[in-house]
């Protein structure tokens, strides 16, 4: 059964039950991926996923129900389940549905014409050739994976909203495994961008190079050092702690930034922007998960916290307007809050100059276990890291097997410099990042 027919039955059922405030959210995606082992395609997969979420406001409570089963029976059942769920809720805050009439940005949806499955196969095999040719230490297990993703989101509600948006992109996932006979190491890189030969070569070779460079890595000595976080590591940190910018967390006592709007929370060098239309991000959106217009905003400007991120409900609690940051984790999730693309404004130093400024310290380009070794509420982190020592302003020996510990909110205050080159990264999650490298003073390294 098609979504449009399903939608019709849902609306009929809702009207029959006398519901006056409801929303139907639809999310579907198609993906095709090819993966390689040695010089062969060893895995191919395609998937069609999607589901709908129905929610309704009853006696001030928002009841949800969702399903992937787009059958006529489910179209009725989902309405009844949402009503039952609303009945058990005790929320003290008012809930809202999006109102129609907002102004939406025109996004040039240059819906990339995605490569065909045959082309993906060709690129994946070419990627393997490039990987094996890149270094004699490349071993089996090295793989090039190519993936097409296209997705569609639609929101309909009883207030007159009827929106939809489509996006599509191709991604390269280059995973290099290298060995020098004594030790094995791996590295992987994801690039989501229009596919061409040059991009493939660059991504695959970068992955091989970074795996090779880390062979023979020592353990960093324990101590307090200046640390240069590479863009990858800055993205990992921001991704882990961006929940602190959510007004939802602030209002629930789960963010230390509660009540800090208008105050200085970071070094004056820090300007952090949320941009739903960031050009390099193929998944740009004119509206958020409540159907409200998305827009670009400064979160931190010159160190000052300008705004937290709001959806309709939290904005009403705070007496402000929504920032259009309502989000959903999949079609079934409750409406929460998240940024689109977090852009950390670059500084003026080249990476070489940043290293010089650091003098003697540690360069970190890999942070692992952010879901475990970091506390998004307190900001404390102690994370498994990898990178290089910095000696006399230059990157020297590779180091691994150590942790870097500190507090995210202290890090924000102690950013001494930023590099001039932002790097865009997206792991396919809700939030993407465009960030430069940063220099932070005095973090604790625990190694040997």
* Nearer residue to another protein within complex by CB, 63 or 231: 63
> Which residues make Cβ contacts (< 8 Å) with residue 318, sequence separation at least 6?
247, 251, 308, 310
Map the footprint of another protein across residues 202-231, applying CB under 8 A. Answer: 219, 222
- Cα dihedral across residues 358, 360, 361, 366: positive or negative: positive
Shortest Å, Cβ 447 to another protein: 7
Shortest Å, Cβ 219 to another protein: 8
* Nearer residue to another protein within complex by CB, 125 or 139: 139
Map the footprint of another protein across residues 288-347, applying CB under 8 A. Answer: 332, 334
Shortest Å, Cβ 300 to another protein: 21
Map the footprint of another protein across residues 267-296, applying CB under 8 A. Answer: none
Tell me the CB-side half-sphere exposure of residue 240, using CA atoms within 13 A: 26
65 binds another protein (CB under 8 A): yes
Shortest Å, Cβ 133 to another protein: 20
Map the footprint of another protein across residues 106-165, applying CB under 8 A. Answer: 117, 139-141
20 binds another protein (CB under 8 A): no
Strands 143-157 and 22-37: antiparallel
* Nearer residue to another protein within complex by CB, 220 or 434: 220
254 binds another protein (CB under 8 A): yes
End-to-end CA distance of the chain: 61
Shortest Å, Cβ 357 to another protein: 23
Tell me the CB-side half-sphere exposure of residue 317, using CA atoms within 13 A: 19
Q: Chain centroid to CA 205: how far?
A: 24
Map the footprint of another protein across residues 22-41, applying CB under 8 A. Answer: 37, 40-41
Which stretch in 46-54, 201-209, 299-307, 414-422 sits in contact with another protein by CB under 8 A?
46-54
Integer Cα distance of 82 and 13 in angstroms: 12
Shortest Å, Cβ 40 to another protein: 7
Strands (E), 158-212: 162-179, 184-192
Q: Are 29 and 283 in contact (CB under 8 A)?
A: no
Binding track, positions 183-202, relative to another protein; x by CB under 8 A: -xxx----------------
Shortest Å, Cβ 140 to another protein: 6
94 binds another protein (CB under 8 A): no
Token pair for residue 353?
């100059």
Shortest Å, Cβ 80 to another protein: 11
Shortest Å, Cβ 101 to another protein: 29
* Nearer residue to another protein within complex by CB, 329 or 396: 329
* Nearer residue to another protein within complex by CB, 406 or 422: 406
> Which residues make Cβ contacts (< 8 Å) with residue 253, sequence separation at least 6?
none
Shortest Å, Cβ 309 to another protein: 18
Extract long-range pairs of 178-185: CB within 8 Å, 24+ residues apart.
178/135, 178/137, 178/138, 178/139, 178/142, 178/208, 178/211, 178/212, 178/215, 179/137, 179/139, 180/137, 180/215, 180/216, 183/215, 183/216, 184/139, 185/211, 185/212, 185/214, 185/215, 185/217
3-state secondary structure of 121: helix
Map the footprint of another protein across residues 389-408, applying CB under 8 A. Answer: 400-406
Q: Chain centroid to CA 94: how far?
A: 29
Q: Chain centroid to CA 405: how far?
A: 23
* Nearer residue to another protein within complex by CB, 29 or 158: 29
Integer Cα distance of 257 and 376 in angstroms: 11
* Nearer residue to another protein within complex by CB, 41 or 320: 41
428 binds another protein (CB under 8 A): no
Integer Cα distance of 191 and 362 in angstroms: 26
Shortest Å, Cβ 58 to another protein: 12
Token pair for residue 174?
């280059």
180 binds another protein (CB under 8 A): no
181 binds another protein (CB under 8 A): no
- Compute how many residues bind another protein; rule: CB under 8 A: 72
Q: Are 56 and 62 in contact (CB under 8 A)?
A: yes
* Nearer residue to another protein within complex by CB, 57 or 349: 57
Q: Are 379 and 241 in contact (CB under 8 A)?
A: yes
How large is the angle between the packed helices 3-16 and 72-88, nearest 10 degrees?
Answer: 50
* Nearer residue to another protein within complex by CB, 297 or 313: 313
* Nearer residue to another protein within complex by CB, 75 or 172: 75
412 binds another protein (CB under 8 A): no
92 binds another protein (CB under 8 A): yes
Shortest Å, Cβ 434 to another protein: 25
């Amino acid at each position: 059964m098609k979504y449009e027919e399903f939608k019709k039955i849902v609306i009929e059922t809702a009207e029959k039950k006398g519901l006056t405030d409801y929303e139907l959210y639809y999310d579907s995606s198609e993906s095709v991926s090819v993966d390689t082992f040695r010089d062969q395609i060893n895995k191919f997969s395609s998937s069609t996923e999607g589901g709908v979420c129905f929610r309704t406001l009853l006696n001030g409570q928002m009841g949800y129900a969702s399903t992937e089963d787009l059958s006529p029976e489910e179209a009725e059942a989902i309405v009844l389940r949402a009503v039952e769920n609303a009945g058990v809720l005790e929320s003290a805050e008012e809930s809202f549905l999006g109102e129609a009439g907002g102004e939406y940005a025109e996004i040039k949806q240059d819906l990339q014409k995605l490569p065909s499955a045959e082309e993906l196969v060709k690129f994946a095999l070419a990627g393997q050739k490039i990987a094996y040719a890149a270094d004699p230490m490349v071993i089996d297990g090295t793989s090039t994976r190519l993936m097409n993703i296209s997705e569609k989101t639609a929101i309909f509600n009883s207030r007159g909203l009827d929106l939809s948006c489509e996006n599509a992109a191709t991604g390269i996932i280059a995973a290099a495994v290298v060995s020098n006979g004594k030790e094995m190491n791996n590295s992987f890189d994801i690039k989501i961008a229009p596919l061409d030969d040059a991009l493939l070569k660059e991504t695959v070779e970068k992955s091989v190079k970074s795996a090779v460079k880390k062979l023979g890595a020592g353990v960093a000595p324990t101590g307090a050092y200046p640390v240069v976080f590479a863009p990858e590591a800055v993205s990992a940190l921001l991704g882990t702690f961006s929940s602190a910018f959510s007004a939802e967390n602030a209002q629930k006592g789960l963010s230390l930034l509660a009540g800090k709007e208008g105050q200085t929370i970071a070094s004056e060098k820090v300007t952090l922007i949320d941009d739903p239309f960031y050009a390099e991000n193929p998944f740009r959106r004119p509206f958020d998960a409540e159907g409200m217009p998305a827009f670009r905003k400064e979160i931190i400007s010159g160190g000052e916290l300008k705004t937290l991120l709001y959806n309709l409900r939290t904005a009403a609690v705070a007496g402000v307007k929504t920032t259009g940051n309502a989000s959903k984790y999949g079609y079934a999730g409750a409406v929460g809050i998240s940024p689109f693309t977090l852009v950390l404004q670059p500084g003026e130093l080249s990476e070489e100059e940043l290293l010089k400024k650091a003098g003697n310290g540690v360069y970190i380009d890999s942070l692992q276990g952010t879901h475990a070794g970091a506390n998004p509420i307190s900001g404390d982190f102690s994370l498994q890291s990898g990178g290089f020592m910095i000696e006399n302003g230059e990157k020297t020996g590779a180091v691994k097997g150590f942790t870097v510990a500190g507090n995210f909110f202290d890090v924000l205050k102690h950013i001494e410099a930023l590099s001039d080159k932002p790097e865009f990264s997206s792991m396919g999650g809700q939030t993407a990042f465009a960030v430069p490298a940063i220099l932070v003073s005095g973090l604790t390294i625990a190694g040997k």
